[in-house]
Amino acid sequence: MTNMNLYSRGDKLFVVVNMVLIALFTLSTLYPFIYIASLSMSTGYEARAGNVILTPVGFTLEAYKQVLSEPLFWSSYGNTFIYTIGGTLMSLAFIIPGAYALSKPQLYGRRFWNLVVAFTMWFNAGLIPFFLNMRDLGLLDSYFGIIIGFAVNGFNIILLRNFFEGIPQSFEEAARMDGANEFQVLWKVYMPLSKPAIATVALFCIVSRWNGFFWAMVLLQDEDKIPLQVYLRKVIAELSDDEEFATSLLSAAYSFETVSAAIIVCSIIPILLIYPFLQKYFSKGILLGGVKE
């Protein structure tokens, strides 16, 4: 920790070895991303020949031209924004008032309602009943189905409820004296005080929406409605299956590898842009959420 000058020679060796190991681990985490980025900017020929190691070989943006000229790429990108923004707002609209009500001691049956929420964290009916339920509700192949169907999550409610419980009563008393109702107390007292916790929950929602793929793949048949992740998976699966197409690209400026690498880069950029916030709030979030219920 401190006292650098007290280090023995063994300690110095230990510190150096440790730093080297961490540096190696960090580079091994970083490398695949650099590799993909370089691949996306290399010519298809060099990529297929396996000549791309670290930096782009035969620099070209042909793969990006290819990706950006595909209408399905743009529609799926737009859909991902719709699902992410719509889904996150929908989640917050349910979770914030719900968690607030559950945090109030005067709520009748509070223990019971908390159990109703927590039980969904321990037991879920599984893929098939959930799927059949969505179908019975007529929510297949619909934007609304994806946005509403995954709005509430027990973990997020409990995380926020715990945070609300930690806010001292005295904060709301002044507002109550002025005749504020519950909605006003929540809006004017609790929400401003809970910005970090709400930001954490919102970021949890944003990341899971942005990255969500399985249910979008299962519930959406209509190509016009698929999000980016489903499109990316389609491209990878189709191109790798279609040997003929793949070989026809051999000499071309772009190939299966460079095109899929370019889509990967495009879909990672928004995550990188919000990454500073993610890092700040997520570590708090998992520590807050460590104490469930």
Partner 1 sequence: MTNELDPSVGQTEELVVEARESQRVRKPGRVVRVGDHFKREWQLYAMLIPTIIWLLVFLYKPMYGLQIAFKDYSIFRGVANSPWIGLEHFQTLFGNDQFLRALKNTIIISFYGLIFGFPMPIVIALMFNEILKDWFKKTAQTIVYLPHFVSSVIIAGIVITAFSPSAGIVNTILGWFGIDAIYFLTKPEWFRPIFVGTGIWQEAGFQSIVYLAAIAGVSPTLYESAVVDGASRWQMMWKITIPSIMPTIIIMLIIRIGNMLEVSFEMIILLYQPATFETADVVNTFIYRQGIQGGQYDLAAAAGLFNAVVAFVLVMTANTISKRYSRTSLW
Of the two residues 224 and 293, which places its CB atom closer to partner 1 in the complex? 293
CA distance 184 to 129: 39
- Tell me how far, at minimum, the Cβ of 64 lies from partner 1, in Å: 16
How far apart are CB 4 and partner 1 at their closest, in Å?
7
Distance CA 265, CA 44 (A): 16
Q: Which is nearer to partner 1, 8 or 170 (CB)?
A: 8
∠281-283-284 over CA atoms, to 5°? 65
Instruction: Tell me the closest approach of the beta carbon of residue 286 to partner 1, in angstroms.
Output: 6
Residue 290's Cβ-count burial label (10 Å; 0-12, 13-18, 19+) is exposed
- CB nearer to partner 1: pick between 105 and 168: 105
User: Considering the complex, what minimum distance in angstroms separates the CB of residue 61 from partner 1?
Assistant: 18
Cα(45)–Cα(279) distance, rounded to whole angstroms?
38
Q: Which is nearer to partner 1, 74 or 282 (CB)?
A: 282
Which C-beta is closer to partner 1: that of 74 or that of 155?
155
DSSP helix/strand/coil, 188: helix
- Cβ contact 209:88 at 8 Å: yes
Question: Residue 130 CB, nearest distance to partner 1 (Å)?
Answer: 5
